A and B are shown apart, each in its own frame.
Chain A
Amino acid sequence: MADNIRKRIFLDRLSKRVMLTLTIFSLLILVFMGGGLYYKSAEILRENSLWTMLTSSVWSPFNGEFGFWSFIISSIYVTLLAVIIALPISLLTALFLTENTKPWVRRVVFPVLDILAGIPSVIYGLWGILIIVPWIADELGPRFVDYTSGYTLLAGGIVLSVMIIPLLVSLFVEIFSTVPKEIKDASASLGATAWQTSRKVVLRKSTPGIIAAVVLAVSKAFGETMAVLMVCGNMVEIPRSLFDSAYPLPALIANNYGEMLSLPKYESALMFAALLLFAIILIFNAISRIVLQKVEERFKL
């Protein structure tokens, strides 16, 4: 009997140790990731100044010149464009789903959002190539510019926007549902229409949450690789219009993975690009997650 209890307690302590170790180890993944990428990009950071790499747009690996500016600005443009397209659509859809609708609409729309969120990025890329790129090249482009291949900043922005809509809508629906029913009723009792209540009460109450959700979507769009690689055109230049090709950071890394072993400095440069991506997304994500948690706690009953 005593033996049995000793054994049980021993097992309990042992498993606690194992679980603690795994938990601590998982916390360290982020540290290892940052450390590993920094270690790999140390070579390029020693030889080139950080400032020049971030602001120069001269990219010629064979001469040892690594200016990341055109990739960084491409990433920023594509991401901004995606958010500009996706934000109004997602806000309106989320309001529609939370404020004034019948249960069957939710039963149809939520699975659709689930599926959209689960579709692999290669499939989005393929869709972009088959639908969006020809549409831009043949229909939309000729109205504004003389010639465009269709593989453009705009194509990347549209495809990315569809990819972040499910994330935005599901976050917005969650945030809107934390707004207490009492204040909505108070607004309605003062004679506000449903839309006035949505705009002046629901949207205003959820502003911090909305911003946090957008930041989260921005970081998802910023790191998305395959789909933008397939539709953006990938020319090393600063895009001047929506109909120019763009070359975002993740696409740069993915496109050159095979060649990078031949030039050690090149490999180091690509690892630096990955480090840059990691750092930006880490900061964005941490901030928005903390804000979202605060929002949730504030309204928890």
Chain B
Amino acid sequence: MKMKFIEEKIFNVLMVLATLVVFGFFASIVWTIVRSGFPTLTWEMITSLPGGGFYLGKEGGILNAIVGSLLIVFFSASLGLLISIPIVFYINVYLRKKSKLGYFTRLSFDVLYGIPSIVYGAFAFTIMIFFGLKTSLLGGIIVITLLIIPIFVRSMDEVAKSVPKDLLDAAYSLGATKLETCKIVIRQIMPGIATATLLSIGRAIGDSAGVLFTAGFTDNIPTSFNQPAATLPLSVFFQLSSPIPEVRERAYAAALLLTIIVLILSVGARLITNRFSKHRIQ
């Protein structure tokens, strides 16, 4: 047999192996989290606040972290949408295709997307000091909003770019202003908006380095924007560094909960991209 066929065989095997390795990592991560988290994930953990001596292994739950994460995610996703939809409209409807401003905006969002969350955290921390804010729910919302705007803009822009120009021209020819044309664009990019929202929520709920500086940590549910807020990832992180086995086991349970949420969001995003395209014109 010729050398090239042997080489071919070897590399075919290697390619399958590489893919299996990726699968292996995935299976190992999911299996580890489920196996260690499942036994300790109880209803009480999800529905109660940390009791006295919680960090010594006494009873209580992580409701503070769950609610804190949800509050931060809810407010920053809404703010993020409000800020990024106009930007996407502007670079796709108001600007010409070859516009320099559009090019730089897209490039800067690509770059912002790559900036690590710890840098966002440090930056937001300097803003907070500048305005005299302490670690608080508001701080967490600011940093997460900044963090997810690039995700929103990039994934919505990806869909908005593919809206056919003829469709816009048809709207203009009927006398619509550019703002009114945006109403047509928004129908076209609806699935994009939904996917972008789920992606952003996934990233927002899993982020820990950003909120470390800014949201702080607390055993209570914040009742105003000035109070610190706990978050799920940080709850995992802090409990994990405890020397007490019971506390560490609860960290595993919190990790399982976080993983389940992220899994649902990720699967949901994929389903939406595939199905939720009712008004779409190809």
B-chain residues with CB within 8 Å of residue A97 when the two chains form the complex: 19
Query: Does the CB pair B15–A96 fall under 8 Å?
Result: yes
Main secondary structure of the interface of A (DSSP, over half): helix
Query: Does the CB pair B114–A126 fall under 8 Å?
Result: no
Q: Pick the contact of B15 from A95, A116, A124 — CB < 8 Å? A: A95
Docked complex: A5-52 residues within 8 A CB-CB of B: 8-9, 11-12, 15-16, 18-20, 22-23, 26-27, 29-30, 32-33, 36-37, 39-40
Closest beta carbon of chain A to B131's beta carbon, Å: 12
Chain A 93-104 near chain B by CB (<8 Å), digits 1 or 0: 101110010000
In the docked arrangement, what's the CA distance between A8 and B255, Å?
51
A195-B8, A277-B116 are contacts. A30–B255 as well, Cβ < 8 Å?
Answer: no
Query: Does the CB pair A30–B108 fall under 8 Å?
Result: yes
25 inter-chain pairs at a CB distance below 8 angstroms, sorted by A residue, are: A16-B178, A19-B87, A19-B94, A20-B90, A23-B101, A27-B108, A36-B126, A36-B127, A89-B18, A92-B11, A113-B22, A114-B269, A115-B262, A120-B233, A122-B237, A123-B33, A165-B22, A193-B7, A253-B118, A254-B209, A254-B212, A270-B122, A274-B118, A285-B115, A289-B110
Query: Does the CB pair A26–B149 fall under 8 Å?
Result: yes
Closest 8 A-B residue pairs measured CB to CB?
A: A223-B116, A120-B206, A92-B18, A19-B90, A274-B122, A96-B15, A225-B209, A12-B177
B residues apposed to A, CB below 8 Å:
4-5, 7-8, 11-12, 14-19, 21-23, 25-26, 28-29, 32-33, 36, 83, 86-87, 89-91, 94, 101, 104-105, 107-112, 114-119, 122-123, 125-127, 146, 149, 153, 177-180, 199, 202-203, 205-209, 212-213, 233, 236-237, 240, 251-252, 255, 258-259, 262-263, 265-267, 269-270
Query: Does the CB pair A33–B123 fall under 8 Å?
Result: yes
Q: Pick the contact of A223 from B119, B125, B206 — CB < 8 Å? A: B119
A37-B123, A119-B259 are contacts. A285–B114 as well, Cβ < 8 Å?
Answer: yes
A12-B177, A16-B178, A225-B209 are contacts. A37–B122 as well, Cβ < 8 Å?
Answer: yes
Query: Does the CB pair A162–B25 fall under 8 Å?
Result: yes
Flag the segment in A61-69, A127-135, A236-244 that touches B: A127-135
A122-B208, A223-B116 are contacts. A115–B19 as well, Cβ < 8 Å?
Answer: no
18 additional contacts (CB under 8 A) given A118-B199, A254-B118: A11-B177, A12-B177, A19-B89, A22-B90, A27-B108, A30-B112, A36-B126, A88-B18, A96-B15, A111-B270, A115-B262, A124-B29, A195-B4, A195-B8, A223-B117, A230-B240, A250-B116, A271-B126
Query: Does the CB pair B111–A289 fall under 8 Å?
Result: yes
In the docked arrangement, what's the CA distance between A220 and B112, Å?
12
Query: Does the CB pair B118–A250 fall under 8 Å?
Result: yes
Closest beta carbon of chain B to A151's beta carbon, Å: 12
Query: Does the CB pair A112–B23 fall under 8 Å?
Result: yes
B-chain residues with CB within 8 Å of residue A193 when the two chains form the complex: 4-5, 7-8
A residues apposed to B, CB below 8 Å:
8-9, 11-12, 15-16, 18-20, 22-23, 26-27, 29-30, 32-33, 36-37, 39-40, 88-93, 95-97, 100, 105, 109, 111-116, 118-127, 129-131, 162, 165, 169, 192-196, 198, 216, 219-220, 222-226, 230, 250, 253-254, 257, 270-271, 274, 277-278, 281-282, 284-286, 289-290
Closest beta carbon of chain B to A100's beta carbon, Å: 8
A-chain residues with CB within 8 Å of residue B114 when the two chains form the complex: 216, 219-220, 223, 281, 284-285
Residue among B8, B29, B122, B265 with max Cβ neighbours from chain A (10 Å): B122
